Structures are given as C-alpha cells and as structure tokens.
Structure 1
Amino acid sequence: MEGWRYPEPMVLVDLETTGANPLRDRVTEIGLIEIDADGLRRWSTLVDPGVPIPEFIQRLTGIDDAMVAGAPRFAEVADEVAQRLRGRLFVAHNARFDYGFLKNEFKRLGLPFHATVLCTVKLSRRLYPQHFKHNLDSLVERHGLSVEGERHRALTDAELLWQFLGAATRDHPTAEVEAAIAELTRQPALPPGLDPAALDDLPELPGAYVFRGEDATPLYVGRNANLRKGVLAHFGARAKSLPWLAAIRGLEWHEAPGDLGARLLELRLLKNLAPLHNARGKPARELCAWQLVEHDGLLVPERVDVARLDFTRTERDRVFGPFRSRRDANKLLDKLAEPFRLCRRVLGLEPAPKSGQPGCADCGGRCKGVCVGRESAAQHNARLLSALARSAFAPWPFPGPIGLPEGPEWASRLHVIDRWVYLGTVADPAELPALLQTPRPAFDIDFYQLLQQELRQRGEQVVVLATSTSTSTSKS
C-alpha cells in the first residue's frame, strides 16, 4: 500500500470512551494516524475523562481509573487534536461514534468542529458485499491483519484501519476504492433553509426525529434504528415526491436505547406535536370497550368508557376492545353477528321489538332464535364469548408498574409502564420515585397496542417495580 495515497489528506481515528453516548460519556484515549503526501505520522494519548470508568468498559479496553489518573484532560490536548484533524478526511470504524464523541468534546469547550467523514464499516460493505460481518475483529480475521498491541486500544485499532485500506487496494483497483470513498463521503442535497450543521451531530443510533418549518411548526415525525440514515433518506431519491421538504427550516432528534424506545418516542411526539405531513391515523376521541353484563342469564354487550376500567380486572369482568369510537365498537359486533349466528337484538344492533313482534329480524335465519327461546341463553353466550375472544381487552398482568430494560449493559435504559400507560424512560434507578409520582398520562390505544405486542414477545422478562421505592426485582 505504500504506493497508494488518497488524493486528499486523511486521518485514521480511534477513540476509547467511558460508554456509548457522546452526550453523556467521555473520551479516555485518542489514537490518530495522519496520512498525506509527506508520509504517515502516528500520535496517541490517554485522556482523563473526569468521571469513573465503568467496570464493563475497563474489562473491554483494559483502561482503568488508575491509568488515566494524571493524564491530560481533553481541554489540554484539544488544540493539538484539532490541528491534527484540520483539513483531513476523518476515517474511523463506525465513524459516527468517534466523530460524535470528538464533536461533543470540542463543543463542551465552545469550539466548532466539522469534517468530512468516511466510515470503514461502510467501505468494507461496499467493497466486500459477499461478507456478512464487517466489525473490526472480522476484518482482522478475513484480511489477515496484524494486531500489534492490545485490541480495543486507540492506536492499535487505528493501525488496523491502515492495514485494512492496504488490503482493500490490493484486492481492488485503485480507481474502484477511490470511487467507493467518493460515493460514501458525498454530501446530500439539503433543503435551502436547513443548515447543514443540523445534520452533523446525527448519530448512527436508534431514535426519533422531527422536521420543523417556519416558526418551528412541526412538519414530520419519524423514527429509525439509525437516526442519521433515517434523516438522510428523506433527501435522496424520494425527495422529489415530498414537496414539503423545501419548507424544512430545522431538525431535532431524540436518541433511544433501541427499537422499542424509538417507537415510544415517535408515538409520544406524534401525539404531542400533530405534525402536518405524517399520515393521520384514526382519532381516538371516544375510547370505549364492550363489557358483557348478564341479564336473566343472557350476556349482553354494554359500552363502557375506557377511563372507568380497572385494567387488572378486564379478563374477569369480560371486557373487549378497546375501540377508538362507538362506531368502531358497533362495527365489530356487526361483523361477528352473521358468521357466529348471534342475535342482533341481543347485541344491541337492532332496536327493541314493537308490541306483538315475536323476535329479531333474523330470527330463524342467521339468528338461532335465542330471542324467542328457541335456543338457550347458555348456547348463545358460548358463541358470543367465542366470537369476541380475539378482541379481549388484555388484563394488566402485574401487581403494579414495570420496567422494560433496553440497550447495552453500559447504557441500558428502563421504559416504565403501568396498567398499559407509558410513564417515561429512566437512565438511573434513582430517577424512578420522581417518575412514579408524576401525574399519570391518560390511557392511549396506540401505546396499549405497542406495549401489548412487546410484552407478548418478552414473556415475563420484565422488571417489576416497587411503587414506594426505586428497588426492583426481575421476573424471568
């Protein structure tokens, strides 16, 4: 590879950090390899993060609190790091991780930082699409890269990137490698009113985002497992089919620990902001359910307001739904009446009989005649319960609030749920008491459907929370 130099100066970057979140966590080591027409230069330093290094991170990197004690703070090396990065293509593996950390470290010092970024994960996928894995360990094994030093140390991993570029230029024509790099670093065509700097901090992490127009009017809410990818996708081939993109003036994004967190964020933003250009679902202005009440041995559906329900008793109380409106509730009964041969008068879909009228309009036909005593109440009850079984309102299966953990060990979050209502997400158990004492949001049918699906997938792998303290126990 000694004969190949990318036409632009580049710097290979690797960082070690106290965690995965660039807004909260800090840098513990920096490794840089500068490459230009004058050759190659290596530079690295440990960094005192000013906070304890979690045990998991210590085991992963081998960097502990004792090693960084006495090392410079980032503020002390910021000028030198900026000088080494300035004017160079920023190359890293999972590049948005390293770029995001450095950008936030500079931001804390009031210093701007911007660079064109190349991710070697994406470069590997582009050049070697036949392979499934593209993490650094896979590249080491696949290309026979030489690990000189400890893995998960900054300069060692930066050296591996240099070796990977060498392998790529041996396996592919130089023009092909350079074309792939040019394609991966091409900047999207943004709306004229959107500051390109608004995209610079976008991480490659799950979350939800909001496009805003004039006067911060919410235009669109979206979510993606990769925030950067999700936002940039709007400015690609689909841009011509979305004329409202030209009205974008601002962008905000909210990170989540995983897909569930992103979906919860998206739902909350959609309901709170009512953006102009999201597809509008059915409004839920008349949330209701059916409750079967016994009259002379016959089970009869009675409409109830969801707000009046005890969610721990919905199964015992024979409750079905919920429905966004009375019309939707009636449509279900109407749909079930014919195939299950139910009496429409018993279901409340037909008015009470006039004097002298023996039975319902379908009596003896689609109705088996419970309305005139031709079949027993028990037989009709059994068919009605069978018909409604798939629409049963799921009871809350826990004695109180629960937490649904999500995210890696060093950055796990707890989504707190109580009786099908999403209360919020906490990063620290100490935050639980305050959250559990905040005013309870109203029941929402969309959150209910999402959370019901999530609990079915998780089984009982949840954290049952004590209501008076922040202590918790796991059920499995």
Structure 2
Amino acid sequence: MQPFAFVDLETTGTTASVDRITEVGIILVDGPNIQEWSSLINPETRISAFIERLTGITNQMVAEAPTFADVAQRVFQMLEGRLFVAHNARFDYGFLKQSFKRQGYDFQATTICTVKLSRRLFPGHPKHNLDSLIERHGLQVNGRHRALADAQLIHQFWQKIQQQIPPAKVAAAVKALTGRPSIPTHLNEQILDSLPQGPGVYLFYGENELPLYIGKSMNIRQRVLSHFTSDVSSAKEMSLSQQVRRIGYIETGGEIGALLKEAELVKKLQPTHNRKLRRNNELCSILLKETGAGLHINVAYARDLDFGRQSNLYGLFKSLREANKVLADLADGHELCKAIIGLEKVKPGKPCFARQLKRCRGGCVGEEPLVAHSMRLMAALSSLRFNSWPFTGPAYLKEDGDLLVIDNWAYLGTAKTEDELWQLLDSPRPQLDKDSYRILQKAIKSLQPIIDPAK
C-alpha cells in the first residue's frame, strides 16, 4: 500500500502566491507505523490580527521559528512519494507547492481531499467541513486551527471510514478522486461530466446571477479545468476558483462564433474578472478629409460615423486620448508636422516645436510643399485604414450548423433556422464594436452576402 501523509497548514492568508505558511503539521503513515511532526514557521511577513485570533499563532510565537527555507528539504523528503491527504487539499497542496518552488523544489503529489471523500462516501449529509466531521464521527479534538491538531483530525476521519465503510467502497472512492481532475470543493463534481468538449463560451458564477468571468475555448471542458489546475500558482486564478459556485456554458459552431459571443456577453454582463473586452462608449477613429487647404484630420466618435460605409477612416481607438497618442507617434516617426495635423497650435508662418528640433520637414513654414506632406501623411496612416464593409447588405459566416449574421461589421447574433435569420435581420443594429471588427477581419474571406429572395 502506498504510504500516506496527512497534512495541515496554517497560513497568513488564502492566496498561495502572496501569503505565507506559519505552521506545518504532518502525520506519516506506513502501515502500522505512525510518525508525527510539526513546526511553527516564520513567514517573514506580519501576521494580521484576524489570523492571530483565528489560529492562535502570534507574531511573537513565530519570531524565533525557522523559515520555510530552513525546513524545506526535510518536509520535501517526508512528503516525497506519499499520497497527500488534507481537508480542502487544493489549499494545502497549493501553498506547499508554491513554497517549495521558491526554494527550487518541484513538488508533485497525488492528493486526496477529505471534503470530497466525505461528500462521496456520505452523500446524504449537507455539510462536510471539519467541524461537521468532528460532530458526525465523534472525532477527538486536541485543538482547532493548529496544524498538527487538524492533521490528527483528518487522520482520525480516515481511520473511522476504514471501520464504517467496506474497503472496496473506500478504495473505489479514492480511485475516483485521484483519477479525476481537481476542482474546488464547493463545486459539484458532476459539473465535469456536463461540460462539452467542443467550442463555445463558459461562464463562472458566484453567489448571484451575475457572472464573475466569461471565457471562450475550442474545448470548453479542457479550458475550464485549466483554470483549476493553474490556481495553485496564480493569485488571479485562485481568487476566481474560491468564488465560483456554478458554471454555465453556451456551445457554438466554431471558433469565430465563440469569440463573437464572448465579446458580446462580456460587454453586456460586465463580469468583474474580465478586463480586455469591457464596453467602451468612447470608441473613436481618425477621419481624413480632403479640403482646399489640403488634407484635414479630425478624431471622431463612433456614434457619429457610418463605419462600414466610409472609406476615409483610420484606426479604432478606445478614447480620444489614445487616438491623439497614435497620431503623435506617427508624426514623430514620419517627421510630420503636428501643427498641420492639428496636434499643436502655432501662429501662421511660425515653426512648430518639432521643426525647431529639426524633426519636422518644414510644412508649417512652407519649406515642404503641402502636397508632399499630405502624401507622407497618407502613407503613414495606410496601416491603420479601416476596411469598408464589402457588401451592400448583411452577410453570414457558417460554422457547423450555425449562421453568424453580420451587418456593417456588427455581429447581430447566431441563427440556426431561417426564421431566426430573418428575426435577426429585422432587429436593431448594435453600435460598432472594436473587438468584433478585429475578430471578423480574420474571417473576412469566409463571409457570404445574404440575398433577400423578395428582391
């Protein structure tokens, strides 16, 4: 039989990448042989008053204790090759893995979470926290929220189930838990079986109906599990996995549909853990107009433009400030005159600031013909040109059985039937979205025009 290690830690907080261990308790079991070991750990950071009250471990108590670096080799040797058993094992395993990593050790172990084991063996009970196990199984308490005392309780629970449950049933439960990907204890394990392995969008929910996070993948199940695999090394993933209580998903026909649906839902629902695809109501573009005095530049807001029908637009920017920054960088890189393009005010005939530094070719003082300046300006802007909508009306992109309906670069939705298609075409057109435009540019060759049979 594989040797066991029953482990419990006390820490300064809940995030393995930021907080530190303050106490380690380990019970090593090799058949009939049992060894116990524990040590306070100097976390090399301050313990908060709340944690002091919770664990009873004070800053004074750990001041002279060894650091984790001092005990790392010994702890690693004790745990190596053993089945790692802990209550909410992801927490303890994650902290040890991070702490070992800081000391140059690659710690890997097969884990058993006694929360999940209890839930699997005693499904009729609603609670499986350590206090519930103490009451339910009559465990002997020598202290709570101290590492060795809690490790002893976990070991007692293990001994109790050996007495109460047939060995084959316990072995089957252990095999099922160690053979399945690890998910947070507060999520129902059956969620793994319900997650599809195809493309789509997934939504993590907390305590209410507003999502915490929205993501997309070509394999929803695989991507969801990757969040819970990386939470032992990422503070962001740990925070998310601690909050998630429910997982929803929307299947799509392919990657483009997943990308568009993700961008749509993030802007609509504003999940707290998403940042990149948030709604931006100040979307701008550079508008280039030809006048009698040469090319005129103006930064205009998306709400005032017909993006798909105009051919004189350059770039999409989240704000006026970002657009002006890009213009300034172009001017510096191409020796353009900031006075001519409207970024700097000077009196007629006076040199702009860049000209005084010999970084402008002199259009502001007539030393460069306006036509030459305009040609260089257009060349500088060419890489930012906004592509006009290539159709006279709406179009579609087919992915498996889905029709992604697009008009003027705006994603209208997904149709599976002809009735749904015409409903989408009769719906109000949403405002241009930068992310949808970027996604569709990569799929432009797959777009097909929708031909109205009534015309």
- Normalised by the length of structure 2, the TM-score is 0.57
Q: CA deviation at 1:296?
A: 3.2
Superposed counterparts of 1:96-107, under 5 Å: none
Structure 2 residue ranges without an equivalent (≥5): 1-174
Residue 351 (structure 1) aligns with: 345
Q: 1:413 aligns with which of 402, 426, 444?
A: 402
Residue 324 (structure 1) aligns with: 318
Q: 1:257 aligns with which of 253, 256, 262?
A: 253
Q: CA deviation at 1:244?
A: 2.6
Q: 1:330 to 1:279 in 2, by over 3 A?
A: same
Q: Does 1:431 align with 2:420?
A: yes
Superposed counterparts of 1:388-403, under 5 Å: 388-403=381-396
Q: Distance in 1 between matches of 2:375 and 2:364?
A: 15
Q: Percent identity?
A: 38
Q: Distance in 1 between matches of 2:231 and 2:431?
A: 37
Superposed counterparts of 1:141-220, under 5 Å: 186-220=179-213
Q: 1:403 to 1:344 in 2, by over 3 A?
A: same
Q: Does 1:338 align with 2:332?
A: yes
Q: Distance in 1 between matches of 2:243 and 2:329?
A: 44
Superposed counterparts of 1:359-398, under 5 Å: 359-363=351-355, 365-398=358-391
Q: CA deviation at 1:335?
A: 0.4
Residue 71 (structure 2) aligns with: none
C-alpha distance after superposition, 1:300-341 (max 9, x if no partner): 2112222222334422xx211221100111011110112211
Aligned partner letter, 1:264: L
Q: List 4+ stretches of structure 1 deviating above 6 A.
A: 182-185
Contact kept in structure 2, 1:297 and 1:378, CA below 8 Å: no
Aligned partner letter, 1:451: L
Aligned partner letter, 1:463: Q
Q: Tell me the C-alpha RMSD between the 2 structures.
A: 2.7
Q: 1:227 to 1:281 in 2, by over 3 A?
A: closer
Contact kept in structure 1, 2:277 and 2:435, CA below 8 Å: no
Q: Distance in 1 between matches of 2:176 and 2:208?
A: 35
Q: CA deviation at 1:240?
A: 5.1
Superposed counterparts of 1:254-293, under 5 Å: 254-280=250-276, 284-293=280-289
Q: Distance in 2 between matches of 1:422 and 1:192?
A: 38
Contact kept in structure 2, 1:189 and 1:235, CA below 8 Å: yes
Q: Distance in 1 between matches of 2:179 and 2:212?
A: 26
Contact kept in structure 2, 1:203 and 1:226, CA below 8 Å: yes
Superposed counterparts of 1:34-45, under 5 Å: none
Contact kept in structure 2, 1:436 and 1:467, CA below 8 Å: no
Q: CA deviation at 1:382?
A: 0.3
Q: Distance in 2 between matches of 1:193 and 1:217?
A: 18
Q: Secondary structure at the match of 1:346?
A: coil
Q: Secondary structure at the match of 1:215?
A: coil
Aligned partner letter, 1:387: A
Q: 1:415 to 1:283 in 2, by over 3 A?
A: closer
Q: Secondary structure at the match of 2:208?
A: helix
Residue 444 (structure 1) aligns with: 433
Q: CA deviation at 1:185?
A: 8.4
Q: Secondary structure at the match of 2:364?
A: helix
Residue 147 (structure 2) aligns with: none
Q: CA deviation at 1:217?
A: 3.3
Superposed counterparts of 1:83-122, under 5 Å: none
Q: 1:368 to 1:306 in 2, by over 3 A?
A: same
Q: 1:298 aligns with which of 271, 294, 307?
A: 294
C-alpha distance after superposition, 1:73-94 (max 9, x if no partner): xxxxxxxxxxxxxxxxxxxxxx
Residue 23 (structure 1) aligns with: none
Residue 126 (structure 1) aligns with: none
Q: Distance in 2 between matches of 1:277 and 1:201?
A: 24
Structure 1 residue ranges without an equivalent (≥5): 1-181, 472-476
The alignment of Structure 1 onto Structure 2 pairs a total of residues equal to: 280
Q: CA deviation at 1:425?
A: 0.7
Residue 81 (structure 1) aligns with: none
Aligned partner letter, 2:451: A
Q: 1:251 to 1:367 in 2, by over 3 A?
A: same
Q: Distance in 1 between matches of 2:212 and 2:420?
A: 32
Q: CA deviation at 1:214?
A: 0.7
Q: Distance in 2 between matches of 1:294 and 1:248?
A: 55
Q: Distance in 1 between matches of 2:277 and 2:402?
A: 29
Residue 308 (structure 1) aligns with: 304
Q: Distance in 1 between matches of 2:277 and 2:425?
A: 30
Residue 465 (structure 1) aligns with: 450
Q: Secondary structure at the match of 2:361?
A: coil
Contact kept in structure 2, 1:290 and 1:320, CA below 8 Å: yes
C-alpha distance after superposition, 1:225-256 (max 9, x if no partner): 11111112222243453233122111100001
Q: 1:289 to 1:307 in 2, by over 3 A?
A: same
- Normalised by the length of structure 1, the TM-score is 0.55
Q: Secondary structure at the match of 2:224?
A: helix
Aligned partner letter, 1:272: K
C-alpha distance after superposition, 1:4-32 (max 9, x if no partner): xxxxxxxxxxxxxxxxxxxxxxxxxxxxx
Q: CA deviation at 1:288?
A: 1.3
Aligned partner letter, 1:462: L
The worse-fitting range, judged by mean Cα deviation, of 217-226 and 281-290 is: 281-290
Contact kept in structure 1, 2:404 and 2:414, CA below 8 Å: yes
Q: 1:191 to 1:312 in 2, by over 3 A?
A: closer
Aligned partner letter, 2:362: G
Q: Secondary structure at the match of 1:235?
A: helix
Q: CA deviation at 1:362?
A: 2.5
